[in-house]
A and B are shown apart, each in its own frame.
Chain A
Amino acid sequence: MDNDAIEQILNKYQGQSRQLIRVMMEIQEENHWLPREVMMKISEKLEVPFSRVLRIATYYKTFSLTPKGRHEIHVCTGTACHIRGAQSVLETVQDLTGIKPGETDAEHKFSLETVNCQGCCTCGPMLKVDEKTHSRISSNEIADALKKYD
């Protein structure tokens, strides 16, 4: 965990309670999860009740209260991807990784999550691993795609 980076974010928005969601977003992007003690620091620095920080952390699927794996797999389950077979893509990923959406595997290699429409419907069905998009993917291509990650 890069404490300096987190401190920087907190100092930038110190006292600005309306930037709460933005601060949590920047820390989630930096750290990939929101540890309890970091949420307490957010509550202090932004001067918002801890209960509100916790409420927002649980309200948004994007925020994780537990550490994520080294690689985050996102499967788009928007309507267009759904009717193009996103469900079977998701099932294949689940079979290969042994985890369901919202979970991280025991070795902390992969975390899986379904995401809302990514806005590139011509690419569907698709999955993203970290920043890389695997477009128009079929179930039998997934194993090869995931092999590249360690």
Chain B
Amino acid sequence: MTRINSAAELEELRQGILSKKDPDKPSIAICAGLSCLGLGNGAVINAFKEEIRKQSLEAKVDVIATGCHGFCEKGPIVVINPEEICYLQVTPEDVPEIVSQTVIGKKVIDRLIYTDPKSGEKAALMSEIPFYKKQMRVLMGNNAKINPKSIDDYLAIGGYSALAKALNEMSPVQVLEEVTKANLRGRGGGGFPAGRKWETTRNAPNETKYVIVNAHEGEPGAFMDRALFQGNPHSVLEGLIIGAYAIGSQQGFIYTRHDTPELRKNVDIALAQAEEYGLLGENILGSGFSFKVEVHFDVGIFVSGESSALMRSIEGKAPEPKPKYIRTSVHGIWDRPSNLNNVETWANVPQIIGKGSEWYNSIGTEKSKGTKLISLSGHVCNSTVVEVPMGTSLKEIVYDFGGGIPNGKKLKAIHFGGPMGGTIPESLIDNPLDFDVLSKLGASMGAGDMLMMDEGTCLVEVARFFLDFLSGESCGKCVPCREGIRQMLNILTNMTKGKGKAGDIELMEELAEVIGAAALCSLGRSVQNPLLSMLKYFRDEFEAHIEKRCPAHSCKALIALEGV
């Protein structure tokens, strides 16, 4: 791979790649996202490779393990190109037939294509399947088309043209202004305006500044960042380089999970290839701007998703958070200005620079612009990753994309944002996906994970579960968080065991007040959020437990007491 020394050379290379691509050449794109791999896609990938080899078709047919396509529930998923015929729930036994019938014979295998569960209507092409058709896949749309291990594939779809535009035609301040005008808000949970954060770091008094990709994704039930990053690592990297240019940073960090081998591999390969092409390193595209990236791992800890704790761990220390009022944009890694953004936030940047802030502002609501990746899980027919414009109604997300609730049960509540988020009842489902609307309802969007809970779910038990999780993950330094969680967990555990007593709810509310005000960091100050939202909408369920009843008929100890 020869180094690219200018924007013009980049375009030349891109045209060269495109001219060598045969649009009619068949390829088999197999989803190698986390869920599909968990459902046995490894064997499917091997079966395809073996079958192509057996039929001596290696030169004529490409077999690509791609990133997550999003329709996880129906995995393992295989897409045959160029027709984009989409096969669902593929097994290794289906492979020889797919190769002979579809790849060679160009015929569709009926039993493997999508069938609408209500109407029975079939859809052979990916673009016709309602699940994909109704989404706005600005960020995820390329996952099924490119090989994440190939930078040339990314270049072929226009990759790094936004970077070239930024370095060649815009000053750092202009880039920053464009991102600010786009009203891009952080996708990691804070919803904080990215442009403002960048500006704070840019203006902070220190020559050395850092930019960080938070790919930690510790929120249970959130898997959209991994889907995006593993499937299209360059889209995030390009955003990071553009951001570094705008902020004035020469050193970036990627903070990601250690337990996802494919993600690690794809990130390492992406960085190596970008370096080879000179898109990372000294004098990028001849602009005079230099930038390099280092990878760090979370190694299985939740609290290191908090930005100041994350930065401590990059320094090689145990990830203990710092007080919230110490702004890491000014005092971050080694006390230097550090701008941290989520994977999805960074991936939005090349889109904004490439297509303009006006385009970006045309999507979404008044205060929440752009699209959002949502991961659906729990008691839902389709556990999937979807990308929809902000403002989409929650009802549409749960029923049109999620397919509703399985086993004939009814939806009881939706939980957003994991252990630091909030729950809303089904009655509020006609609300839009919007940062501020959800915040006001007491259920901050968080990273965009939506957990559906059916009528058989006991919310007292779920509240207990979240606190149990946090009791092990809290760093333990400050009294309100460490001891407050301990006592709230005690009370809730007793409630689920029939040992609840009058005054328990009021005591938990008192604890919540103290923790919310006095805990050291933003994690500590949010631990009571799920419980408070549940008390707001489902207080009677908690009161019932004190009366030794579990309305959802879930708590074993209480069922025994009832004699039911």
With both chains docked as a complex, state the minimum distance between the C-beta of A76 and any C-beta of chain B, in angstroms: 9
- Is B38 a contact partner of A21 (Cβ separation < 8 A)? no
> Which of A46, A116, A135 makes the CB contact (< 8 A) with B39?
A135
Complex alpha-carbon distance, A8 and B375, angstroms = 40
- Is A133 a contact partner of B37 (Cβ separation < 8 A)? yes
Q: Is A109 located at the chain interface by the 8 A CB criterion?
A: no
A119 with B75: in contact, given A22-B297, A79-B418, A83-B462 (CB under 8 Å)?
Answer: no
9-residue interface stretch from B103-111, B168-176, B299-307, B364-372: B299-307
Q: Is B313 located at the chain interface by the 8 A CB criterion?
A: yes
> Which of A48, A77, A79 makes the CB contact (< 8 A) with B451?
A79
- Is A122 a contact partner of B384 (Cβ separation < 8 A)? yes
- A-B Cβ contacts below 8 A, count: 128
- Is A120 a contact partner of B220 (Cβ separation < 8 A)? no
Interface string of A18-32 (1 = CB under 8 A from B): 111110110000000
Q: Is B223 located at the chain interface by the 8 A CB criterion?
A: yes
A121 with B299: in contact, given A48-B316, A79-B451, A80-B378 (CB under 8 Å)?
Answer: no
| A133 neighbours in B (Cβ, 8 Å) | 37-38
Residue in chain A with minimal CB distance to B418: A79
With both chains docked as a complex, state the minimum distance between the C-beta of B258 and any C-beta of chain A, in angstroms: 6
Complex alpha-carbon distance, A111 and B300, angstroms = 17
Complex alpha-carbon distance, A115 and B34, angstroms = 15
- Is A60 a contact partner of B299 (Cβ separation < 8 A)? yes
Q: Is A148 located at the chain interface by the 8 A CB criterion?
A: no
Interface string of A47-71 (1 = CB under 8 A from B): 0100010011001111100000000
User: Which of A22, A55, A120, A135 has the most C-beta atoms of chain B within 10 angstroms of its own C-beta?
Assistant: A120
| A60 neighbours in B (Cβ, 8 Å) | 299-301
- Is A83 a contact partner of B379 (Cβ separation < 8 A)? yes
Complex alpha-carbon distance, A18 and B255, angstroms = 13
| A24 neighbours in B (Cβ, 8 Å) | 299
Interface string of B462-474 (1 = CB under 8 A from A): 1001100100100
With both chains docked as a complex, state the minimum distance between the C-beta of B342 and any C-beta of chain A, in angstroms: 15
B residues lining the A interface (CB < 8 Å): 34-35, 37-40, 72-73, 75, 217-223, 226, 258-260, 296-297, 299-302, 313-319, 375, 377-379, 382-384, 415, 418-419, 451, 453, 457, 462, 465-466, 469, 472
For the complex of A and B, the 9 pairs showing the least CB-CB separation, nearest first, are: A78-B220, A122-B383, A121-B377, A117-B220, A119-B223, A80-B377, A120-B38, A123-B38, A62-B300
Contacts A/B (CB < 8 Å), 26 sampled: A18-B315, A18-B316, A20-B317, A21-B313, A24-B299, A56-B318, A60-B300, A61-B472, A77-B469, A79-B220, A79-B418, A79-B465, A80-B378, A80-B451, A83-B462, A117-B221, A119-B217, A119-B222, A119-B226, A119-B260, A120-B35, A120-B39, A121-B221, A121-B383, A122-B73, A122-B75
